[in-house]
Structure 1
Amino acid sequence: MRLSTLLVRLGVFLVAAILCGIGARIIVSTVEARSVEAVEMSFEEHGHEFATVIGDGLQVILEGEAPSEAMRFRAISTAGGMVDASRVIDNMTVTVTDSLQAPEFSLEILRNDSGISIIGLIPAASDHEQLTETLAGLSGEDGNFADFLETADYDIPLDWETSVDFALRALRQLPRSKISVRAGSVAVEAISDSPEQKAQLETGLRRTAPEDLLITLDISAPRPVVSPFVTRFIIDDEGARFDSCVADTAASERRIVAAAQAAGAEGRLGCTIALGSPTVRWADAVTMSIAALEELGGGTVTFSDADVTFVANPGAVEGNFDRIAGELENSLPEVFALEAILPAAPSEISEGPPQFIATLSPEGLVQLRGRVSDDLLNSTAENFARAKFGSSEISMATRVVDGLPNGWAIRVLAGVEALSKLSNGSVTVEPESVVVRGNSGSEEAGAEITRLLIDKLGSSEEFEVDVTYVEALDPIASLPTEEECLAGIEAVTQARKITFEPSSATIAGAGAAILDDIAEVLQRCADLRVEIAGYTDSQGSEDGNQRLSQQRADAVLDGLRVRRVPVSRFRAVGYGEANPIADNETAEGREANRRIEFSLIVPESTEEPTALEQIEAEAEEASEEGATE
């Protein structure tokens, strides 16, 4: 009885063990099949067709030939994302390539007041030592220079040296900059001292950049500090317009301009983005006030920091004005204080108001005429005009009269100062208004005059500013091109010739006056690249003529340097008796051949061949000689 019970239990145990083994095999087979299927589908999705997936129990074996080490690693990572990475067995190989692909060479140069640092990967064949010496020299004796360059032994890419040369030229002009260099492209990020300097730098860098080089310039200028922070918007019979507009951010400018356009302003609109706003809600206040002015039907709203002056046009309906002004006063942010003014309706006046008129001619002649209150104001206005215009060309046609209104002296002097902001124009001062009209080479002149008059007279005073921007008067926009600069030099030297003492490099005769005129032309030309070429006649030895021509070209270069011409981008070259322009057999011909010529340097034509180009040229020359033999 006991034996049969034991046998039954043993049988049950064996049957259970067999069933567990069969179940485990089924589970393992299922996991294996699903793992292989999941990895294969992922490989197909990611483009890893080169890999074969084999299941071995719970392990996933990868076989095949990967085109690169990177592709092999990606395939392993893809498989590890579908199954546990510990189950992935890598049996793949990598295709053997004949040569490794060259890396992308690049530089990044950082320069600030504390020094210069450079980081990147450059070809081993490039002149690393000269590059670091140049940058160390730019950092100065007291500056720091940090070199984090790495080299790789590959051929120098096409346009690499051209890119590096341009980057170094740009770095000399940009004391606070980051310059990124790749073969065929240079990206410049820099900070300038002013918008005028920003325009000069951008113009100069683009002019001197080689044609095939991709240049990206991001030069920023600091935002000006405006005090008081003034915006003035007018709606009258002439239409809606800004006399002055400032904003604290670009987003604020867009909102203010949109409000002005909705109120009927047309044409080119914009605000000066500056520092000095009394609140971050500046745009809210300005846009509310412009909308209120539009609803009123006309008038003037003036912001001077947090003071707001809301003036209706004469004859506005009093009830409507009170309602709109009240709603605006309650809607403005708390920091703003509103003064609402409803002028009385105009009445007939039999006699014209007293006037003071100041005019500035395009030639610089200043004339003051009209009425002044006393001799002290008369002399003060004359002396103030001489100080502001820096000229003795002041014509006085004023008359001292009694009975002028209070504050007349302030209005007269403010008008003279406003006129000094123009290139030419006029200012008319009356008891109830000041009118400024004229032309300027600065796009900000109108806004600057508006801020000046508000500061001197107060935001509630009536004045009109009508200033036209004339590009020809803009010192930045009117900078001459390289070709115009060279044409100016040719005009100076067309009828005159720089001469030297016999067998000497000493400039003789009227040469000094000619250099004065050339220097005057070059002072207006920024970042000009000029070659000063010296030539002689054929008398004397060839070596002696070459040395003499070099000395004479150097003498001209030194003469321009003494006259404070920026000659860092000039070069003096002596060509001796080469390239004659006349017959050396006659005295007249020899005289013509002894000359100094000026020409523009074209960067592409002056580049030295790279080491690789020299090797290729020598190999080609040797091959041609072998074929000839």
Structure 2
Amino acid sequence: MRSKPLLPVAVTFTLAAALCIGAASLTVTQIEARSVRAIDEALGDAGIDWATVSADGLTIDMAGTAPDEAARFRALSVAGQIVEGTRVQDRMDVAQRQQIAAPRFSIEVLRAEDGISLIGLVPAEMDRLAFLERIARHAFNTPITDLLQTASYPAPEAWDEALDFGIEALARSEKAKISIDADQVEVVTMAQDAEARRALEDTLNDLAPDGVEVALNITAPRPVIAPFILRLTRQGETSRFDACSASTEEGRARILDAAEPLGIDGARCQIGLGVPSPEWADVATEAMRAMQRVPEGTLTISDLAIRIDAAAGTEDFGRTVAALRAGLPPEFSLTALEADAEAVEPDAGPAEFTATRSPEGAVQLSGRVGDALDRATVASYGRALFGGDQVNDGFAPEEEVPAGWTPRLLAGLDALSVLNNGAIRVTEESLSVTGVSGSQDGSSLIAGRLSSRLGDDARYEIEVSYDERLDASLGLPTPEECVAEINNILQTRQITFDPGSATIDPASRDSVRGVAEILGKCESVPMEVGGYTDSQGREEMNRQLSQERAEAVLAALLALRVPVSTLTAMGYGEESPIADNDTPEGREANRRIEFKLLSGEEEAATPDDASAEDAAEVVEDEQEDEAGTAE
């Protein structure tokens, strides 16, 4: 039997297989395209524009960078609604998560009698041991409890400056709560009295670093005022408080409101303890309203005693006094006197005593005193108050004096001791005190002393002005101290300039700021800003360069808002060397800025010196070095 050929059959099967494979491949490609298209449309509808879709056979590849994990999962969910989830290959990335923000570093420093506690969070890199040692140096033998926690994050900007200031505030406080943040330090503490509070506030404000906000809450116990006194003087169109006391802020506000119709605006009224009656402020305001109908006279309220002295001929004075007396609480007494011009009799030799105190402290006593015992008493009391070497007496020959004369003289000397300079004049009718005091409460203090020594019916006049330059609580330096402090700074860190120019070196900015801080307390002190160079270069060029550098210092101070109207710029060139110009070190020492105190004659002798306006116009552009010019 003859067999059939096999080749045609094999070919047939091969062709059939190829056709099947081709058909299957075409089917898969169509499925891939439809799947990709459907998923793209679904992603677009869902607002997912960051994902890309491609097909690898029946497998769907999803790529792209999701903004977060939730967005990535949402894209997978959308694709899973179109095709089976097992067909989806996740090749998507997630954007890098934001770095966790650093915590807020802060320290709460609590200082009490039993020790110091530190609570808060600080950078791990901080040298805690050195920080604790610095605190211990300012709190000798005081237990320190360290409850600080740490975090491994870099210290914020100005953190070290805030720590330094916090320690300075702690060193000046016996009891305090100091909250230290990188950008703010809050100090809650107490001062001994009002003057100490002002001094501490000024000191801490001066120490406050740049870039750190300082919040001060410094309280002081109220002083005891004895006697509790208010004294008002009216003379023609002028009215003033010689003394004013109140027990509360509300009471002070009412007293000052009552003073406005009398023409007194912006007056001081001391708040303190010792008020003799809860109705004291009410009585004071009613008495001041009565004084509106007394054009010339004085009102004195000392504790519970009220006294009104009116000029002769005051209209309806009796009615005014009667109305005031009718409304007074029973514990208050009122004495009202109207001067009688006809009762004044001429006296050829009136008793009079004067005492003057100079700004240097010298005291001159002169006038009628009395017998030898009275003279010894007055002189001894004066020496006890002012110092034995400061008192010079020129008493008149022994004469009769009015009754109670010596106590009046002693009271006057006591009042004079409150003044930095001034005078007292004692007559039989009155006692006057005039001068200048370094205390804002000088008038009140004098009125209190006179009233307590002489009684509530005493007649006296006070005309005292306040000069902040004499206020010890402000700690203002003397003119000599101003110059010495500035030159001490310049000896430690001299103001330097770019070579051959008048442009201040940026490294000298701290020196300029230090000088500015001192000048802020020495505004009225006349000083010369002297510029000096070494001996290299031509003499005239050196003098010109030194003048420009002195003016540049004035301009820099003006930029820091320092008043420079009392400053004079002067260039001395290579004059007055302080070191050897033959050595590099010596030449560097000779290139300097110096401040000098000016007297009135020296100011008048330098009319051609640069003014503040000239200094403001100094051009600080860098200049090119010139051969042979001093650096």
Could you state the TM-score of these two structures normalised by the residue count of structure 2? 0.60
Cα offsets for 1:523-567 (capped at 9, x unmatched): x99xxxxxxxxxxxxxxxxxxxxxxxxxxxxxxxxxxxxxxxxxx
Tell me if 1:111 matches 2:111.
yes
Q: Which moved more, 1:470-479 or 1:403-412?
A: 470-479
* RMSD value, Cα: 3.5
SS at match of 2:200: helix
Residue range with higher mean Cα deviation, 356-365 or 407-416: 356-365
Paired residues for 1:353-432 under 5 Å? 353-432=350-429
Q: Which amino acid aligns with 2:393?
A: M
Asked whether 1:344 is paired with 2:348, we answer: no
Q: Give the superposition deviation at 1:238.
A: 5.3
Amino acid in the other structure paired with 2:273: L
Q: The residue matched to 1:372 in structure 2 has which SS?
A: coil
Larger radius of gyration: 2
CA contact (8 A) 1:314 1:346 kept: no
3-state SS in 1 of match to 2:394: strand
Indicate the residue corresponding to 2:230 in structure 1. 231
CA distance in 2, matches of 1:362, 1:297: 35
**1:154 equivalent in alignment to 2:153:** yes
Aligned to 2:532: none
Give the whole-Å Cα distance in 2 for the aligned partners of 1:340 and 1:583.
Answer: 80
State the SS of the aligned residue for 1:186. strand
- Change in CA separation of 1:241 and 1:486 when aligned onto 2, cut-off 3 Å: closer
Please give the residue correspondences for 1:275-294 in structure 2 after superposition, counting only pairs within 5 Å: 275-294=273-292
Residue 324 (str. 1) matches residue 345 (str. 2): no
Q: How far apart in 2 are the matches of 1:204 and 1:598?
A: 27
Per the TM alignment, residue 229 of structure 1 is displaced from its structure 2 partner at its CA by 0.9
Please report how far the alpha carbon of residue 405 of structure 1 lies from its aligned counterpart in structure 2 after TM superposition.
1.5
Alpha-carbon distance in structure 2 between the residues aligned to 1:491 and 1:110: 38
1:460 paired to 2:457: yes
- Counterpart of 1:305 in structure 2 is 303
| Aligned counterparts of 1:470 and 1:478: Cα–Cα separation in 2 | 11
- C-alpha offsets along residues 36-76 of structure 1, whole Å, 9 cap, x if unaligned? xxxxxxxxxxxxxxxxxxxxxxxxxxxxxx999xxxxxxxx
Paired amino acid for 2:319:
R
The equivalent position to 1:447 in structure 2, one of 444, 448, 463, is 444
Query: What SS does the corresponding residue of 1:350 show, helix, strand or coil?
Result: coil
Tell me the amino acid that sits aligned with residue 179 of structure 1: I
| Percent of aligned positions that are identical | 35
Find the aligned partners of 2:133 and 2:393 in 1 and give their Cα distance: 62
- In the other structure, the counterpart of 1:99 is 99
- Would the aligned equivalents of 2:438 and 2:467 in 1 still touch at CA under 8 Å? yes
Matched with 1:541 is none
- SS in structure 2 of the partner of residue 409 of structure 1: helix
Separation in structure 2 between the aligned mates of residue 148 and residue 489 of structure 1, nearest angstrom: 41
Task: State which drifts further: 108-117 or 240-249.
Answer: 108-117
**Which digits, 9 at most, give the CA deviation of each residue in 1:191-212, with x for residues without a partner?**
1123333233223222233222
Q: Deviations over 1:447-485 (max 9, x none)?
A: 111111111111212110111112332232633799744
Q: What displacement does 1:598 show? A: 13
Q: Distance in 2 between matches of 1:138 and 1:360?
A: 42
Distance in 2, matches of 1:416 and 1:350, equals: 28
- CA shift, 1:390, in A, is 1.2
Structure 2 equivalent of residue 207 of structure 1: 206
Partner-residue secondary structure (3-state), 1:198: helix
Do the aligned partners of residues 240 and 101 (structure 1) sit closer, same or farther apart at CA in structure 2, a change above 3 Å counting? Answer: same
C-alpha distance in structure 1 between counterparts of 2:487 and 2:428, whole Å: 51
SS at match of 2:174: coil
Could you tell me which residue of structure 1 aligns to residue 628 of structure 2? Answer: none
Unaligned runs of 5+ in 2: 1-66, 70-94, 493-517, 523-577, 595-631
Amino acid at match of 2:119: I
Cα shift at 1:406: 0.8
Output the amino acid matched with 1:389.
Answer: F
By how many angstroms is 1:437 displaced? Answer: 0.9
Shift of 1:344: 2.9
CA distance change for structure 1 residues 440 and 333 in 2, over 3 Å: closer, same or farther? same
2: distance between equivalents of 1:167 and 1:480?
A: 29
Give the distance between the partners of 2:439 and 2:342, measured in 1 at CA.
36
Pairing 1:512-591 to 2, within 5 Å after superposition = none
8 Å CA contact 1:432, 1:461 repeated in 2: no
Please list, as runs of the form range in 1=range in 2, the aligned pairs for 1:111-190 lying within 5 A after superposition.
111-141=111-141, 143-190=142-189
Change (3 A) 1:162 1:348: closer
Contact 2:199-2:475 within 8 A present in 1 as well: no
Counterpart of 2:49 in structure 1 is none
Contact 1:378 1:400 survives alignment (8 Å): no
Deviation at 1:306, TM superposition (A): 1.7
Q: Distance in 2 between matches of 1:189 and 1:346?
A: 62
The yes-or-no answer on 1:220 pairing with 2:219 is yes
CA positional deviation for 1:348: 5.1
Q: Which residue of 2 aligns with 1:86?
A: none
Q: 1:295 is paired with a residue of what secondary structure?
A: coil
Deviations 1:83-136 (CA, angstroms, capped at 9, x unpaired): xxxxxxxxxxxx994432222221111113222112222222222333334435
Amino acid at match of 2:148: L
Between the aligned partners of 2:213 and 2:282, the Cα distance in structure 1 is: 42
Superposed CA deviations along residues 579-606 of structure 1, whole A, max 9, x for unmatched, are xx9789x6x77888999x999xxxxxxx
Paired residues for 1:496-515 under 5 Å = none
Give the deviation of 1:311 after TM superposition.
Answer: 2.6
Deviation string 1:205-234 (CA, Å, 9 cap, x unpaired) is 222332222222222332211111111112
Amino acid at match of 2:346: S
Q: Secondary structure at the match of 1:126?
A: coil
Query: Does residue 469 in structure 1 map to residue 456 in structure 2?
Result: no
Distance of 1:275 and 1:380 partners within structure 2: 34
- CA shift, 1:237, in A, is 2.3
Query: Quick one: which amino acid aligns to residue 338 of structure 1?
Result: L
Q: Distance in 2 between matches of 1:134 and 1:148?
A: 17
Partner in structure 2 of residue 513 of structure 1: none
2:269 pairs, out of 268, 271, 278, with 271
Task: Show structure 1 runs of 5+ residues with no match.
Answer: 1-65, 69-94, 494-520, 526-580, 600-629
**Cα contact 1:171–1:179 (8 A) shared by 2:** yes
> Could you tell me whether the CA contact under 8 Å between 1:368 and 1:395 is conserved in 2?
yes
CA distance in 1, matches of 2:302, 2:585: 73
Q: Which whole-Å CA distance do the structure 2 matches of 1:218 and 1:485 have between them?
A: 33
**Corresponding residue of 1:244:** 243
Contact 2:490 2:593 in 1 (8 A): no
Question: TM-score normalized by structure 1?
Answer: 0.60
Aligned length: 419
Task: Tell me the distance in 1 between the aligned counterparts of 2:442 and 2:293.
Answer: 30
Q: Is the contact between residue 111 and residue 177 of structure 1 (CA under 8 Å) also seen in structure 2?
A: yes
